[in-house]
Structure 1
Amino acid sequence: MTDDFDYQLETLAIRAGQERSQFGEHAEALYLTSSFVADNAAQAAARFTGAEPGFIYSRFTNPTVTLFQDRLAALEGAEAAVATASGMSAILALCMGHLKAGDHILASSGMFGATIQLFSNWLAKFGVTSSFVPPTDPAAWDAAVRPETRLFFLETPSNPLTEIADIAAISAVAHRHGAIMVVDNCFCSPALQRPIALGADLVIHSATKYLDGQGRVLGGAVVGSKALIEPIYQFLRTAGPTLSAFNAWVLVKGLETLGLRMRAHCENALALAQWLETQPAIERVYYPGLPSHPQHELAKRQQSGGGGIVSFEVKGGQEAAWRLVDSVQLLSRTANLGDVKTTITHPYTTTHGRISPEVKAAAGITQGLIRISVGLEHIDDIKRDLARGW
């Protein structure tokens, strides 16, 4: 690609970052090798010190992984990216690169259960403390800042209630206090939301989800400025929670259809959410594309679509929720999301099952809550399958 144009997302998702080898391949190459050969000792030494660019060892330098990183950075409008073995390893690498004992994380109360576990249990063992505040109240973030607060961590939309946080407003609070603003963009992907343009410093991805889009591989990434990515890369180079070349190649191919898939996910999810609101067995539906969603207007301003996640409360608590989950024959009973196949899960006992009842209650996660990752099957078939449960 040349730099003559300001390319659109769909073009970047297909073309950005590719450098053809001497063979002139049309599709992106897959480099399955553990290490790379230097021409001489001086070149090897220069590459290890960083004085000369080049590939060394696939734990931290691989052409296929670099292609994925460069393409994702282009989609997010960022300078750089570092790829990891999973979304959770991306969050861990971020924390290891930027935090030390005595630092404090301020995070949204509505988040993926494993992220809450990482902050509350594992990082706490090494002297990093965490506090959780409502994602929808910027004033609460301002009030909860401590002198040692180093990192703001925000999911928007949140998992699983799709709460929408004002990225620009909370970023302003973070920067006023000298903290790094991090946004987990898993639910939207850069096809629907670009947090860096709204003031965020770093963006987290579980590439396992929409970036792949077909449930094939695990992967993660952190995206941002070169200066903020560098310490994360250095941790990755040393500790090795690395994205494999094969997984990177699969993710590159997933990015090619990201824009098309996200538009289709949004269309199906909105239709499903509207239908669910008419069902007598449903207590409440959570979807940013619905006018009934508390942050509907904010979602319209900072997202180009409502996303593919729909959550809803069924009447009758856990018994009714499990009955619904057990009744489906088309939908996949799995906690993964972002797939072309529609998935269904009961967050209270799966994604947030390890969290205490008190924390669940504070986050609004009830025993009657169901989360649907709406796939690309025909919407009428998705509706019919869910209707078996009531």
Structure 2
Amino acid sequence: MARRITLEFLKTEAASGAVLGVAALIALIVANSALSDQYFAFLKGYQTLQLGPIALTMPLSDWVKEGLMAIFFLVVGLEIKYEILKGELSDPRRLATPVLAAIGGMIAPAAVYLAFSNAFDGPSQGWPIPLATDIAFALAVFAMVARKLPTSLRVFLLTLAIVDDLGAIALIAVLFSGGVQLQPLLIAVGLLGVGAVISRWRITPPFWVLGFALVWWFTVQAELSTSLAAVAFALIVPVNARKEGQESPLKEAMHELHPYVAYVVLPIFAFSKAGVSFQGVNLEALLTPLVLGIALGLFVGKQIGVFGMAWLASALRIGAKPRGATWAQVYGVSLLCGVGFTMSLFIGALAFPGPIDSPEQVQVKLGVLGGSIVSAILGALVLARSPRRASEPSDLDAR
């Protein structure tokens, strides 16, 4: 059952990967055309949502990031929960591998960046930039070459990227947050607690829609990332059916939401975030310590940290290689983890605040784009040319 569901998701993602890529390409073209000013002005335009006496006002780009992408993280959280309880990650050792790989994928890029930056007198505050993996783009690239690859690799990448981004979100909260609003945070946590208790009852889909909307609302009011709230809400959705012969609320939500996420949410997100202006770019800017430090952190640091920790976890019997996968395929996935893109650009804007065309911002974009593009291309090539199945069983399968 778990394999069937994962294959259905892969089929949708393979079709939507091209849509996502086209949306990102259009954004890049528009951002560097005569329509550039209108594009950025449109995304910066403030929109207001009124809920009773409370009004929430954010730029349109933030509505996409905090609103639409919360639905994406909800679906991702639902799938991770299903895989942990019923599927590929139900064995603790299979769960340990992507978690440890994600930790390695955060430590190594920071170390590579700091080592390079210190050697060439670069700015040290950029070390968090190459830590994040862009889940949406990494999965889109994977879907393009994943037709005959073991589905366990996608689960490995998805789990790793979630842990990776949660770590990046935690860093943002610690390093760049102006403080959390306690009262709405407590309300959001309370709503999650109530939902967890009454989730044992037989309740209809409108309850889950309303519950998620309320948790999302108070999370925004608390000035926390809504991705955290979405993953937390996914944890309280029941994984078991209430009646025999029915689908569980979790699987119903996965099937209903996934096409909208694949064909609407992610392309809109790509269009709103991939539009990077290359104004002010020259050869000198390409060779600065900030550009090279970020690019090397994403390309070199990510693959060393992710693949090294995955191999070490398997060698020490702490974890296990993804079922049916070869080490070459695991290495290809490790390369895809170097696709930092939108999350790295977001962290870069926080680490180097200033105008969008400032020298630091231009260098951040060049480093992120360079490291992400090289990682995506080489990762896709390695996966496309790797043997389709492992010649030897997994260390867990052999036991």
User: TM-score when scaled to structure 2?
Assistant: 0.28
Structure with higher helix content: 2
Structure with higher strand content: 1
Higher relative contact order (CA 8 A, sep 6+): 2
User: TM-score when scaled to structure 1?
Assistant: 0.29
